């Protein structure tokens, strides 16, 4: 019992000294859109901190594969619809975790602390 | 119903964008064929195919309906799925139940993206197709426009088979190019009037008919020769040629009319009977092939009643009062009520209850259903949409339809504690009805997450949840499951001392934290030498670390991708 508590305390101390960073889930997104909308779709994915991995032409549609943070995709269905006049579709799946950029991490931590604080009351 | 010859059955699905008028067209077909006494309307909420409260107040179908009528001694099963993009799953499943389709294009709704997407699926299946241009009574209606649109967006070249008689609000009927007559009808009565083509329309009809003759002759060298020699094909050659062309997918006839005015339905109904394939015709082109669920061997069935029973469930309906209904297309053999069948997708025996023939919300009990028929089965336990049912002594499993994965997720929170149970129970039932919905509890954030194909899809699910299961929920954006990790290696001492009489408690350990590559998770090791910490205390150290791992130091997110080593202590 004593060792358990000691280990917990030791871990917390070591953690703070080890430069902790925030990780966020990244999704692999596959977007299919008509060729004439491809520019706005790629532009939008970039604005969402996405990394375009691959673009491939299929008939009259283009298929874009990108790595995008999950946090940026919560309402993507609606956005893609309006960007492509309803012609685009997409599928996504979890890819991996990656570091959140520092300025953004500060904001997320801030928001989260307010939320946990509110929930505790 | 088994007395019905197999040749006199047609299973047809209607496909269109939302708002093109599928439901109105179905209603008009039922009315024209005498299956319903009055022409119902969507505006008044009186159609046979839309009856769920969600459909009535939206004035739009949200689930697949099954209708049935009879024309020229042929039974026509009509499948009316919703047109909205978010409900595409319903449409895609409905394609499993039919042998042909009618593509409905509304003058006002045009060809939208969802239709282009359904079309690409339909094309892959090679389903024979008829086109119907609805809302011909609108001023903007133009056959040439539709032909051009179909060519551009769908890559098909439709062949006009009827022309408007009168225009705009003055539309009285259609010119039937095949029968060479004018067909007029009214909304008050299902009967129609057939008249010879008036003088002033003869030139137009002659030209259009010539195009049909040419299209048929082009497909067959013998007919082409005859056409070039005689300048004409006989009526019989024309009809046979059209049938072959439609069933091979090389000819797509275009009919036109106005569903809400009961105009143009007669040529369409004739075409369903004359040109579209019966279940037998269809099976002779596209074999009923599946796998034996145990051996993995390829097996096939013929679409005849003499073969062992097999079929595919294409829709599941769960009613809090009636219980579960599974809509099945019988592919081969005969299914009897109250018998035992085998679900080869799940590998379990199923006892089926009553069989019903479906007309909108009405169900009529039938004793059996033969190859080609569509029936609803009561009281199946484990069977889900997409499953194969078959004779327990002759196993076959048909390939499953792949549905799109959900793209939009929300966290849901029951409005009150009393709702918690109802929410998860109700949602699980809704998912059985609609496999494109997903519901889960997230391991990290502990939230209940509901995912669907779009906002409308989620809204509908929650509306049904409230109406059928009495559960209310609030939607939130789902929380993002953030995690924490470390960048550099660090060491620290943890020391715990408590000596208040009796046995004292003392623990002291030195830990080293080191980063691991992304995705490696967590590793623990002991590098204690010389028994600085007694061996039997090491598991306690690990437990302490694992507990602390759940709450990182930044914002309390779980810590991952690090190695913890205990290397000293006392």
pLDDT tens digits for B295-349? 889 999 998 889 999 999 999 988 767 788 999 999 999 999 999 999 999 999 9
pLDDT given for residue B124 in this prediction: 77
**Does residue B4 belong to the interface with chain A, where contact is any CB pair within 8 Å?**
no
Q: Of A48, A42, A54, A100, which Cα lies nearest the Cα of A72?
A: A48
Q: How far is A120 from chain B (nearest CA, A)?
A: 14
What is the per-residue pLDDT across B390-402, written as a single tens digit (0 to 9) for each?
999 999 999 988 8
- Among A8, A9, A10, A80, the residue to mutate for chain B (most B Cβ within 10 A): A10
Answer yes or no: do A17 and B492 touch at CB < 8 A. Answer: yes
How many A-B residue pairs are in contact by the CB < 8 A criterion? 196
User: pLDDT over 90 for what percent of chain A?
Assistant: 47
Where do the H-state alpha helices sit in chain A?
A: 2-17, 38-47, 76-83, 102-120
Inter-chain CB proximity B511 and A14 less than 8 Å: yes
Q: Are B315 and B339 in contact (CB under 8 A)?
A: no
Delimit the domains of chain A by residue range.
Answer: 23-120
b (16+ CB within 10 A) / e for B151-190 = eebbebebbbbbbbbeeeeebbbbbbbbeebbbbbeeeeb
Interface of B with A in 75-114 (CB under 8 A): 85, 112-114
C-alpha to C-alpha distance for A72 and A100, rounded to whole angstroms: 12
Of B114, B407, B544, the CB nearest to A8: B544
- Give contacts of B 352-381 with A, CB under 8 A: none
Instruction: Report the C-alpha gap between B202 and B205 in whole angstroms.
Output: 5
Q: Report DSSP state, residue A106.
A: H
**Are B364 and B426 in the same domain?**
no
pLDDT digits (tens, 9 = 90+) for B131-188: 999 988 887 778 888 888 888 888 888 999 999 998 888 888 999 999 999 999 888 8
Contacts of A3 in chain B (CB under 8 A): 496, 507, 509, 533, 537, 540-541, 544, 569
Write the DSSP symbol of residue B381: S
In whole angstroms, what is the distance from residue B78 CA to residue B30 CA? 9
Q: Classify residue A116 by its DSSP letter.
A: H
Q: Are B131 and B230 members of one domain? A: yes
Distance between CA B453 and CA A77 in Å, rounded?
8
Q: Are residues B145 and B74 in the same domain?
A: yes
- Residue B280 parent element (H or E): helix B279-285
Same domain as B42, residue B152: yes
Residue B485 lies in a domain: no
State the residue for tokens 């299929």: A58
Nearest-Cα distance to chain A for B179, in Å, is 40
* A15 to B490: CB separation less than 8 angstroms, yes or no: yes
Inspect the interface and report whether the beta carbons of A77 and B454 lie closer than 8 Å: yes
How many residues belong to chain B? 570
CATH of the domain at B124: 3.40.50.300
C-alpha count within 13 angstroms, C-beta hemisphere, residue B247: 23
Residue B349, in any domain of the structure: yes
B541 lies in the same domain as B465: no
Q: Which CATH class is domain A23-120?
A: alpha beta
Cα B313 from chain centroid (whole Å)? 12
Q: Is the pLDDT of residue B266 over 90?
A: yes
Residue in chain A closest to B455 (alpha carbons) equals: A78
Q: Give the per-residue pLDDT at B450.
A: 93
* Residue where one domain finishes, among candidates B346, B363, B390: B390
Which ipTM score applies to this complex? 0.90
B383 and B420 part of one domain: no
Residues in chain A closer than 8 A to B557 (CB atoms)? 22, 112
Which residues of chain B have a CB within 8 Å of the CB of A71?
480
Nearest Cα residue to B251 out of B230, B274, B228: B274
- Alpha-carbon distance of B154 to B117, in angstroms, equals 10
Chain B: give the shortest CA distance to residue A81, in Å: 10
Contact B157, B150 (CB under 8 A): yes
Select from A8, A12, A99 the Cβ nearest to the Cβ of B553: A12
Per the CB < 8 Å rule, is B540 touching A75?
no
CATH of the domain at B534: 3.30.230.10
CB B286 within 8 A of CB B203: no
Q: CB neighbours (10 Å) of residue B371?
A: 28
Q: State whether B508 and A6 contact (CB < 8 Å).
A: yes
- The rounded distance, in Å, linking the Cα atoms of B111 and B172 is 26
Best mutation target, A17, A20, A29, A37, to test chain B (most B CBs within 10 A)? A20
Taking CA–CA distances from B504, the nearest residue in chain A reads: A2
How far, CA to CA in Å, does B293 sit from each of B248, B289, B308, B382, B399? Answer: 32, 13, 15, 17, 11
Q: Does residue B532 have a pLDDT over 70?
A: yes
**B556–A116: do the CB atoms touch at under 8 Å?**
yes
Q: Do B559 and A20 touch (CB under 8 A)?
A: yes
Residue pair B163/B175 in contact (Cβ under 8 Å)? The answer is yes
Residue B483: inside a domain: no
Given B486, B511, B512, which is nearest A7 (Cβ)?
Answer: B511
Mean pLDDT of B43-71: 81
What are the start-end ranges of the H helices in B100-189? 113-125, 143-149
- Is pLDDT of A76 > 50? yes
pLDDT at position A121, please?
64
The mean per-residue pLDDT over the stretch B424-447 comes to 88
Residues from chain A that touch B490, judged by Cβ atoms under 8 A, are 14-15, 17-19
- Backbone φ and ψ of A32, nearest 5°: -115, 125
Cβ atoms < 10 Å from Cβ of B292: 14
Question: Which residues of chain A make contact with B523, given a CB cutoff of 8 A?
Answer: none
Pairing of strands B388-390, B340-343: antiparallel
Which DSSP symbol is given to B5?
-
Contact B294, B379 (CB under 8 A): no
Question: Which of B480, B503, B557 to mutate to probe the A interface, most A CBs <10 Å?
Answer: B480
Q: Which residue of B has its CA nearest to A3?
A: B507
Instruction: Give yes or no: residues B347 and B444 share one domain.
Output: no
> Does the pLDDT of residue B123 top 80, yes or no?
no
Give the residue from B129, B163, B168, B147 showing the smallest Cα distance to B261: B168
Pairing mode, if any, of strands B74-80 and B9-15?
Answer: parallel
For residue range B401-432, list pLDDT tens digits in order: 888 888 889 999 988 888 888 888 889 889 98
Residue whose C-alpha is closest to residue B523's, from B560, B483, B489: B560
Range of the domain at B372: 287-390
- In this structure, the answer to whether residues B375 and B501 fall within a common structural domain is no
pLDDT tens digits, residue range B209-264? 999 999 999 988 888 888 888 888 889 999 999 999 999 988 999 999 999 899 99
Phi, psi torsion values for B159, nearest 5 degrees: -115, 110
**Cα(B542)–Cα(B525) distance, integer angstroms:** 8
Residue B566 near chain A (CB below 8 Å) = yes
Q: Are residues B518 and B376 in the same domain?
A: no
Query: Which of the listed residues B223, B249, B284 is the one where a domain comes to its end?
Result: B284
B503 touches chain A (CB under 8 A): no
Looking at the structure, tell me whether residues B238 and B140 fall in a common domain. Answer: yes
CB contact under 8 A, B113 and A116: no
- Give the residue-averaged pLDDT of B4-11: 70
Residue-wise pLDDT tens digits, A83-93: 988 778 888 88
Kindly give, in sequence order, each residue whose CB lies less than 8 Å from that of residue B374, ignoring residues fewer than 6 positions away: B11, B66, B77, B79, B97, B327, B328, B329, B330, B358
Contact A18 B489 (CB under 8 A): yes
Same domain, B239 and B143: yes
Contact at CB, A86 and B544, closer than 8 angstroms: no
Q: Is the CB of residue B475 less than 8 Å away from at least one CB of chain A?
A: no
What mean pLDDT do residues B92-121 have?
A: 82
A71: confidence class by pLDDT, cuts 50, 70, 90: very high
pLDDT tens digits for range A12-63: 999 999 999 999 999 999 998 888 899 999 999 999 999 999 999 876 788 9
- List CB contacts (< 8 A) between A18 and chain B: 486-490, 513, 515, 562
**Positive or negative: CA dihedral B430, B432, B437, B440:** positive
CA-wise closest residue to B545 among B524, B527, B514: B524
pLDDT band of B534, cuts 50, 70, 90: confident
Domain boundary among B451, B476, B501: B476
Answer whether B512 touches A (CB < 8 Å): yes
Q: What is the DSSP letter of B197?
A: P
Joined together, the tokens standing for residue B567 give 């290397």
What 8-state DSSP symbol labels residue A100? P
Average pLDDT, chain B: 87
Do the Cβ atoms of B331 and B303 come closer than 8 Å?
yes
Does B484 have pLDDT greater than 90? yes
Q: Which residue of B has its CA nearest to A96?
A: B519
> Any CB–CB contact under 8 A between B515 and chain A?
yes
What average pLDDT does range B9-31 have in this prediction? 88
**How far is it, in rounded angstroms, from Cα B62 to Cα B82?**
5
Instruction: Give CA–CA dist B223/B232, Å, rounded.
Output: 9
Please judge whether A15 and B498 are an interchain contact, meaning their C-beta atoms are less than 8 angstroms apart. no
pLDDT at B495 over 80: yes
What confidence category does residue B4 fall into, taking pLDDT thresholds of 50, 70 and 90? very low
Domain count, chain B: 4
Q: Report the 3 state secondary structure along B157-175.
A: CEEECEEEECCHHHCCEEE
In eight-state DSSP terms, residue B150 is I
Whether B66 and B112 share a structural domain:
yes
């Amino acid at each position: 019992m004593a060792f358990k508590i000691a280990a917990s305390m030791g871990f917390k101390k070591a953690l703070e000294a080890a430069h902790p960073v925030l990780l966020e889930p990244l999704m692999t997104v596959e977007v299919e859109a008509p060729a004439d909308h491809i520019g706005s779709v790629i532009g939008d994915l970039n604005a969402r901190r996405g990394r375009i991995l691959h673009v491939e032409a299929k008939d009259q549609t283009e298929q874009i594969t990108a790595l995008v943070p999950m946090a940026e995709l919560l309402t993507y269905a609606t956005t893609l619809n309006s960007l492509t006049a309803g012609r685009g579709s997409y599928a996504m799946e979890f890819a991996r975790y990656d570091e959140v950029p520092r300025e953004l991490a500060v904001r997320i931590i801030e928001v989260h602390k307010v939320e946990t604080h509110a929930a505790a009351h | 119903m088994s007395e019905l010859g197999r040749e006199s059955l047609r299973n047809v699905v209607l496909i269109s964008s939302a708002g093109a008028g599928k439901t109105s067209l179905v209603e008009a077909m039922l009315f024209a064929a005498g299956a319903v006494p009055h022409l119902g309307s969507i505006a008044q909420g009186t159609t046979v195919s839309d009856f769920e409260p969600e459909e009535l107040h939206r004035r739009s179908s949200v689930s697949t309906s099954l209708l049935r009528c009879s024309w020229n001694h042929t039974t026509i099963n009509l499948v009316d799925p919703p047109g909205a993009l978010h409900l595409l799953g319903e449409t895609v499943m409905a394609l499993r139940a039919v042998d042909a389709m009618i593509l409905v294009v509304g003058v006002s709704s045009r060809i939208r993206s969802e239709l282009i997407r359904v079309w690409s699926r339909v094309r892959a299946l090679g389903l024979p197709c008829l086109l119907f241009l609805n809302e011909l009574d609108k001023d903007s209606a133009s056959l040439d426009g539709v032909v051009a649109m179909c060519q551009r967006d769908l890559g098909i070249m439709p062949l006009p088979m009827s022309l408007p008689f009168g225009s705009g609000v003055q539309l009285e009927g259609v010119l039937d190019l095949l029968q060479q007559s004018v067909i007029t009808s009214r909304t008050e009565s299902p009967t129609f009037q057939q008249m010879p083509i008036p003088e002033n329309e003869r030139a137009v009809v002659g030209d259009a008919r010539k195009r049909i003759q040419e299209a048929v002759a082009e497909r067959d060298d013998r007919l082409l020769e005859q056409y070039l020699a005689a300048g004409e094909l006989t009526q019989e050659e024309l009809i046979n040629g059209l049938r072959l062309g439609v069933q091979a997918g090389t000819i797509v006839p275009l009919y036109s009319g106005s569903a809400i005015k009961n105009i143009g339905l007669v040529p369409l109904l004739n075409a369903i009977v004359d040109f579209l394939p019966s279940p037998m015709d269809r099976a002779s082109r596209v074999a009923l092939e599946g796998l034996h669920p145990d051996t993995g061997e390829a097996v096939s069935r013929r679409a005849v009643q003499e073969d062992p029973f097999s079929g595919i469930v294409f829709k599941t309906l769960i009613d809090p009062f009636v219980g579960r209904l599974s809509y099945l297309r019988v592919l081969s053999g005969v299914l009897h009520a109250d018998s035992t069948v085998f679900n080869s997708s799940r590998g379990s025996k199923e006892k089926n209850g009553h069989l019903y023939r479906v007309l909108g919300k009405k169900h009529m009990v039938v004793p059996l259903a033969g190859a080609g028929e569509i029936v609803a089965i009561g009281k199946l336990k484990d069977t889900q949409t997409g499953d194969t049912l078959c004779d327990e002594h002759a196993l076959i499993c048909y390939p499953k339809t792949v549905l799109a994965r959900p793209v939009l997720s929300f966290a849901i929170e029951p409005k009150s504690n009393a709702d918690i149970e109802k929410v998860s129970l109700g949602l699980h039932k809704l998912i059985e009805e609609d496999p494109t919905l997903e519901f889960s509890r997230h391991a990290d954030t502990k939230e209940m997450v509901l995912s669907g194909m779009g906002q409308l899809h989620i809204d509908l699910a929650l509306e049904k949840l409230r109406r059928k299961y009495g559960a209310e929920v609030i939607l939130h954006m789902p929380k993002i499951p953030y995690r924490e990790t470390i960048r550099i290696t660090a060491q620290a001492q943890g020391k715990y001392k408590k000596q208040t009489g009796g046995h004292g408690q003392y623990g002291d350990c030195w830990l080293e934290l080191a980063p691991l590559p992304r995705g490696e998770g967590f590793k623990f090791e002991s590098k204690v030498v010389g028994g600085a910490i007694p061996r039997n205390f090491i598991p306690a150290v690990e437990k302490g670390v694992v507990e602390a791992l759940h709450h990182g130091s930044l914002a309390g997110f779980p810590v991952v991708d690090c190695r913890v080593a205990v290397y000293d202590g006392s």
